[in-house]
Amino acid sequence: MYAALTVIGAGGICVGVSNASSARTESTTITSKWVTPGKGVVLPAKASYPNSAGTLGVVHERGPIQTKGHPFFEPLGSNGRACVTCHQPSDAMSLSLDTIRERWEATKGADPLFDPVDGADCPDKPRGKRESHSLLLNHGLIRIAMPWPPKDANGNVIEPEFTLEVVRDPTGCNTSPTYGLNSDNPTVSVYRRPRMAANLRYVTTSFSLSGRFNGKTGEPLAVHPKTGKRVGLPILADARQPTLEAQAAEAAINHMRVHAPLTDEQIEQIVAFESQVYVAQDFHIMAGSLVEKGAPPALGPMALVTGESILPGNNWTNPVFMSFDSWRVAPGETEEQRKFRESVARGYDLFFLRPMWIRDVAWFNSIGMGNPYKRTCAICHSVHLTGNNISPGLMDLGVNNVALGIDMPDLPVFKVTCKQDALPHPYLGREFLTYDPGRALVTGKCIDVGSLVMQQMRGMSARAPFFSNGSAKTIREVVEYYDTRFDMKLTEQEKQDLTNFMSVL
Amino acid sequence: MRVTTLVLGIGLAGVSAADTIKAPPTQRNFVACPVVIDAQDVPCWVADYEGERYFLTVQTGRSYGVVFAPQLKHKVLVEGTVTDEPRICGGVVLKDVKLSVMEYEISPECDQILPGDAYRTKGPRPIIPDGDPPWGKSTAVPLPPDPSRSPAAIKAKMERMAAAKETWEFVVPYFFDSNYLPFPAEQATVDQAADYAVMTNARRVEVVGYRGSVILSNGEIMTERAGLAEQRARKVADILRDFGVPDSALKVSWKEEPEHSGGVRDYEKRRVTITVIP
- Mutation choice for B interface testing from A152, A206, A208, A219 by most B CBs within 10 A: A219
d(CA A99, CA A111): 12
Among A218, A359, A366, select the one facing B187 at the smallest CB separation: A218
- Of the three residues B75, B104, B121, the one that is the final residue of a domain is B121
Instruction: Answer yes or no: is B17 within a domain.
Output: no
In the prediction, which pLDDT does B184 show?
82
- Of the three residues B64, B86, B121, the one that is the final residue of a domain is B121
- The rounded mean pLDDT for chain B is 91
Q: Verify that B160 and B269 share a domain, yes or no.
A: yes
Contacts of B11 in chain A (CB under 8 A): 420-421
Contacts of A311 in chain B (CB under 8 A): none
CB atoms within 10 A of CB A69: 10
User: What radius of gyration do chain A's Cα atoms show?
Assistant: 22
Q: Verify that B71 and B151 share a domain, yes or no.
A: no
- Mutation choice for A interface testing from B128, B192, B234 by most A CBs within 10 A: B128
Angstroms from B22 CA to nearest CA on chain A: 30
Chain A contact for B132 (CB, 8 A cutoff) = yes
Chain A contact for B66 (CB, 8 A cutoff) = no
- The rounded mean pLDDT for chain A is 92
CATH code (residue B212) = 3.30.1330.60
Residue, of B44 and B148, whose pLDDT is higher: B44
Q: Verify that B104 and B181 share a domain, yes or no.
A: no
Asked if the bond preceding A71 is cis, omega within 30° of 0, the reply is no
Q: Which pLDDT band holds residue B14 (cuts at 50, 70, 90)? A: confident
Taking the CA atoms of B26, B31, B33 and B38 in sequence, report the sign of the dihedral they define: positive
B69/A370 touch (CB, cutoff 8 Å), yes or no: yes
Instruction: Answer yes or no: is B170 within a domain.
Output: yes
d(CA A162, CA A415): 10
Work out the average pLDDT over B197-206.
97
B188/A210 touch (CB, cutoff 8 Å), yes or no: yes
Chain A contact for B219 (CB, 8 A cutoff) = no
In the prediction, which pLDDT does A437 show?
98
ipTM: 0.92
Q: Which pLDDT band holds residue B64 (cuts at 50, 70, 90)? A: low
A376/B74 touch (CB, cutoff 8 Å), yes or no: no
- Mutation choice for B interface testing from A361, A374, A389 by most B CBs within 10 A: A374
Angstroms from A408 CA to nearest CA on chain B: 26
In the prediction, which pLDDT does B139 show?
86
Chain A contact for B156 (CB, 8 A cutoff) = no
Q: Verify that B92 and B46 share a domain, yes or no.
A: yes
Domain of residue B183, residue span: 147-277
Q: Verify that B104 and B167 share a domain, yes or no.
A: no
Contacts of A355 in chain B (CB under 8 A): 127-128
DSSP A130: G
DSSP A186: -
Asked if the bond preceding A372 is cis, omega within 30° of 0, the reply is yes
Contacts of B65 in chain A (CB under 8 A): 368
B106/A429 touch (CB, cutoff 8 Å), yes or no: yes
Spatial neighbors of A103 by CB under 8 A, at least 6 apart, are A34, A111, A113, A114
Q: Verify that B151 and B269 share a domain, yes or no.
A: yes
A367/B62 touch (CB, cutoff 8 Å), yes or no: yes
Instruction: Answer yes or no: is B4 within a domain.
Output: no
Asked if the model's pLDDT at residue B4 lies above 50, the reply is no
Among B9, B10, B71, select the one facing A365 at the smallest CB separation: B71
Q: Which pLDDT band holds residue B23 (cuts at 50, 70, 90)? A: confident
B104/A423 touch (CB, cutoff 8 Å), yes or no: yes
Spatial neighbors of A167 by CB under 8 A, at least 6 apart, are A413, A414, A415, A433
Q: Verify that B199 and B272 share a domain, yes or no.
A: yes
Contacts of A366 in chain B (CB under 8 A): 71, 103
HEC profile of A205-246: CCCCCCCCECCCCCCECEECCCCCCEECCCCCCCCCCCCHHH
Instruction: Answer yes or no: is B131 within a domain.
Output: no
Instruction: Answer yes or no: is B14 within a domain.
Output: no
Instruction: Answer yes or no: is B9 within a domain.
Output: no
In the prediction, which pLDDT does B86 show?
96
Chain A contact for B195 (CB, 8 A cutoff) = no
Q: Which pLDDT band holds residue B239 (cuts at 50, 70, 90)? A: very high
- Mutation choice for B interface testing from A209, A214, A353, A377 by most B CBs within 10 A: A209
Torsion of CA B234, B238, B244, B249, to 10 degrees: 30
Among A209, A315, A427, select the one facing B184 at the smallest CB separation: A209
Give me the number of domains chain B comprises: 2
Q: Verify that B79 and B171 share a domain, yes or no.
A: no
In the prediction, which pLDDT does A256 show?
96
Q: Verify that B115 and B152 share a domain, yes or no.
A: no
Residues of A near B (Cβ–Cβ under 8 Å) read 209-213, 215-216, 218-220, 314-317, 319, 352-353, 355, 357, 359-360, 365-376, 378, 420-421, 423-424, 426-430
A316/B10 touch (CB, cutoff 8 Å), yes or no: no
Chain A contact for B242 (CB, 8 A cutoff) = yes
Chain A contact for B111 (CB, 8 A cutoff) = no
In the prediction, which pLDDT does B63 show?
67
Q: Verify that B157 and B97 share a domain, yes or no.
A: no
Among B43, B67, B132, select the one facing A316 at the smallest CB separation: B132
Closest-approach residue (CA) in chain B for A368:
B68
Closest-approach residue (CA) in chain A for B57:
A370
Chain A contact for B133 (CB, 8 A cutoff) = yes
Chain A contact for B171 (CB, 8 A cutoff) = no
Instruction: Answer yes or no: is B52 within a domain.
Output: yes
Q: Verify that B252 and B193 share a domain, yes or no.
A: yes
Spatial neighbors of B274 by CB under 8 A, at least 6 apart, are B169, B170, B171, B172, B189, B190, B193, B205, B206, B207, B236, B240
d(CA A459, CA A28): 19
Among B45, B62, B74, select the one facing A368 at the smallest CB separation: B62
Q: Verify that B103 and B155 share a domain, yes or no.
A: no
Work out the average pLDDT over B84-98.
96
In the prediction, which pLDDT does A10 show?
36
Residues A111-140: b if buried by 16+ CB within 10 A, e if exposed: bbbbbbbbbbbbbebeeeeeebbbbbbbbb
Question: Which residues of chain A register pLDDT less than 50?
Answer: 1-31
d(CA A436, CA A227): 33
Among B67, B127, B243, select the one facing A375 at the smallest CB separation: B127
B73/A218 touch (CB, cutoff 8 Å), yes or no: no
Asked if the model's pLDDT at residue B191 lies above 80, the reply is yes
Instruction: Answer yes or no: is B7 within a domain.
Output: no
Contacts of B187 in chain A (CB under 8 A): 209-210, 213, 215, 218
